Structure formats: C-alpha cells, structure tokens
Amino acid sequence: MIALEPFTPADFDQLIEWVADERLMKEWSGSMFSFPLTRAGLEWYIEGSNNLADPSVFIYKAVDSKTGVTVGHISLGGISQRDRAGRLTRVLVGNTTERRRGICQGMVKALLRIGFEDLKLHRISLGVYDFNHAAINCYLKSGFKQEGVMRDVVRHGDGYWSLIEMGILEDEWRALQKPSSHLA
C-alpha cells in the first residue's frame, strides 16, 4: 500500500538522485526545471505548497506503507476552487527496481482520493507523453480517460514529443470505489 506524505527539503536529495539524466528530467517535469535538478530549484518548487488555507498545489513523496521506504514522487497542482479542478503532475516511481510493482497505480489512486474526497474536486486532468506506455496504462487502470492529443508539443533533440491529455471526473472515480457486486 502507498501512503502520500508532504514532500519536504529532507526529500530533496532522494529526488535529485532519481532524476539522473536530462531526458528523464524533461519527461518528469516538462520545462519546469533545468538539468541538473538542484536543491535551490526544489526550494522554489515547494514554496507555498501543501497549504490547506491556500490549496493551489500539493506535492508528495510516496511511501511504501509496509517498509517505510520512499518509492516515488507525485503532485496535484493547478487547483481551481471555482472550477473544482486540478492537474496531476510530476509522477515518478523512483528506483527502477521498484517499477512494475503497482507503485504508480498506488500513488495515483492515493492522490485521486485526496483530490476527490479531501479537496472536493470535480475533475482531475493530466498530460503524458505518447511514448510513455507504462504511465498511460497506469492512468487508464486508475480510471482516467484519454481526451485528446497535443501533437509535437515539446522539442527534444532533433524530434518532437506529443502529449496525451487525460482526465477523470468525480462521478467516474466514485463509481470505481464501489465494491463490485456479483450475482449468485
């Protein structure tokens, strides 16, 4: 089981270690950070985050509840109280040996619970590069629906990356929370 805890300066070194190359930096953060990731950049990133009095962004580390080990990073930003909407961003499963164990799905499901239950959001969206099949599958399994594609949105090297836009609404999420009933 995955628990989300506020991401703090004590977690900076772990994230810096995980984001070890420029391509991964761009996949994880878009153009928010420049490579290499630094403590100063992360100080700016968390400024004003995780504030229930002004809930515009929540940044978390993902912790394996059984071992207490930090296994990932995830955030919910772009929160609009008026529209009851937010955007899932910067999802990263840390150590590559931890991948393919359901950690991403655990992180996403924990964040959706926070967004829909605690923050009373109506819609949560995200963008994922079209070549990131593992992440796309994780989001689909978590209940997101593909809504469109922004073609050639990011330039990387000599090529371009396209971004798949996905979203989930609160009633879709709530329907997934109900235990399925089986007819006898």
Confidence of residue 32 (pLDDT cuts 50, 70, 90): confident
Q: Is the pLDDT of residue 100 over 50?
A: yes
Look up the CATH number of the domain holding residue 68. Answer: 3.40.630.30
Q: Please check whether residue 73 lies inside any domain of the structure.
A: yes
Q: 78 lies in which domain range? A: 2-122
pLDDT digits (tens, 9 = 90+) for 110-161: 999 999 999 999 999 999 999 999 999 999 999 999 999 999 999 989 999 9
Q: Please check whether residue 171 lies inside any domain of the structure.
A: no
* Total structural domains within the chain: 1
Work out the number of other CB atoms within 10 angstroms of the CB of residue 123.
Answer: 18
Work out the number of other CB atoms within 10 angstroms of the CB of residue 134.
Answer: 12
Q: How many CA atoms lie within 13 A of 2 on its CB side?
A: 25
Q: Is the pLDDT of residue 182 over 80?
A: no
Q: What is the model's pTM?
A: 0.92
Confidence of residue 95 (pLDDT cuts 50, 70, 90): confident
Report the distance separating Cα 165 and Cα 162, nearest Å: 10
pLDDT digits (tens, 9 = 90+) for 111-121: 999 999 999 99
Are 165 and 150 in contact by the 8 Å Cβ rule? The answer is yes
Q: Please check whether residue 134 lies inside any domain of the structure.
A: no
Q: Please check whether residue 158 lies inside any domain of the structure.
A: no
Sign of CA dihedral 25, 26, 29, 31: positive
Q: Please check whether residue 63 lies inside any domain of the structure.
A: yes
Q: Which of 171, 28, 167 is nearest to 91 (CA)?
A: 28
Report the distance separating Cα 147 and Cα 167, nearest Å: 7
Residue 30: predicted pLDDT: 84
Q: Please check whether residue 37 lies inside any domain of the structure.
A: yes
Q: Is the pLDDT of residue 10 over 90?
A: yes
Report the distance separating Cα 171 and Cα 149, nearest Å: 24
Q: Please check whether residue 35 lies inside any domain of the structure.
A: yes
pLDDT digits (tens, 9 = 90+) for 42-83: 999 999 999 888 889 999 999 999 999 999 999 999 999 999
Q: Please check whether residue 181 lies inside any domain of the structure.
A: no
